[in-house]
């Protein structure tokens, strides 16, 4: 019979913070991504709208390791339109980085080692 991972049902950063605060050794690697996606627009909203709007997501992949078990937790920090002005893109990155700082502080408070990365 296969052993079920202790972390197999975990899917939130908070789950791993709780583990670390409970005395478990939790390690972490973070990868930031900008994902391009297409947002479907329901037909009939306006005649001059396209069927799809090009969008992007700024996400972080948190790869937690507890013992020999690893778990990927992906968090979306913001989404925006590919047609935004450069100023809007800067603002979205600034908001995303502020949200990352908040999560990083929570992870540091739980004594989970990691390298900080920003957009």
pTM of the predicted protein model: 0.85
In a domain, 21, yes or no: yes
Q: Alpha carbon of 45 to those of 21, 29, 39, 79: distances in Å?
A: 49, 43, 14, 21
User: Which residues, at least 6 apart from 11, have a Cβ–Cβ distance to it below 8 Å?
Assistant: 71, 73
pLDDT in tens, 68-98: 999 999 999 999 998 999 999 999 999 999 9
Structural domain contains residue 64: yes
As a whole number of angstroms, the distance between CA 66 and CA 101 comes to 23
pLDDT in tens, 24-48: 999 999 999 999 998 776 666 555 5
100: containing domain = 13-109
Q: Can you give the pLDDT at residue 1? A: 44
Q: Which of 66, 73, 60, 77 is nearest to 116 (CA)?
A: 60
Total of domains in the chain: 1
Is 8 contained in some domain? no
Residue 118 lies in a domain: no
Residue 2 domain-assigned?
A: no
Q: Is residue 104 part of a domain?
A: yes
């Amino acid at each position: 019979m296969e052993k079920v991972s202790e972390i197999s049902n975990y899917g939130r950063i908070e789950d791993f913070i709780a583990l670390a605060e409970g005395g478990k050794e939790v390690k972490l690697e973070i990868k930031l991504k900008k994902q391009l996606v297409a947002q479907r627009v329901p037909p009939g909203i306006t005649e001059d709208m396209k069927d799809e709007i090009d969008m992007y997501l700024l996400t972080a992949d948190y790869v937690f390791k507890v013992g020999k078990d690893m778990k990927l937790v992906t968090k979306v920090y913001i989404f925006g339109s590919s047609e935004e002005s450069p100023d809007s893109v800067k603002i979205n990155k600034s908001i995303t980085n502020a949200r990352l700082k908040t999560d990083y502080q929570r992870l540091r408070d739980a004594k989970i080692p990691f390298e900080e990365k920003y957009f």
